[in-house]
Amino acid sequence: MHLRLCAAAFLTLLTIGSVEAQVRAPSRLPDPRTEFVRQCAPRMLGRWEHPEEVCGCLHDHAAAVVEDRDLREALLRGISETGVPTIETDWVPVSKQSEIGATFTKIAKPTLQCMFDPAKS
């Protein structure tokens, strides 16, 4: 009987320790920039010598100049899906679709800098 009690106590302690370890382990959500680069880089292979640098630069410099969240998210989606700065009109609320052209004008210089000399951005 004493052996059974010790075995039960031991199993209980193992279970509690396992549960506590699972509770303490932080759930790591992906970093939005890292996730963007991960999705973008394969689209840049064959086009650019350092696709991760180009994608990181586009995220940090070209998309960063777009203040509007909806337009910025649409731009990042377009880059990560196609490998070029693109915004589909249905990715942006109707009220902001008229701003797409101005957004491309705003990102033109940083985009060219990222694509042709990402190290200097």
More confident residue, 38 or 119: 38
Q: Which residues pair with 48 in a beta bridge?
A: 45
More confident residue, 38 or 7: 38
pLDDT over 50 at 6, yes or no: no
Closest among 90, 29, 32 to 63, alpha carbons compared: 32
pLDDT above 90 as % of the chain: 64
Q: What is the pTM of this model?
A: 0.72
CB neighbour list of residue 119: distance below 8 Å, 6 or more residues apart: 53
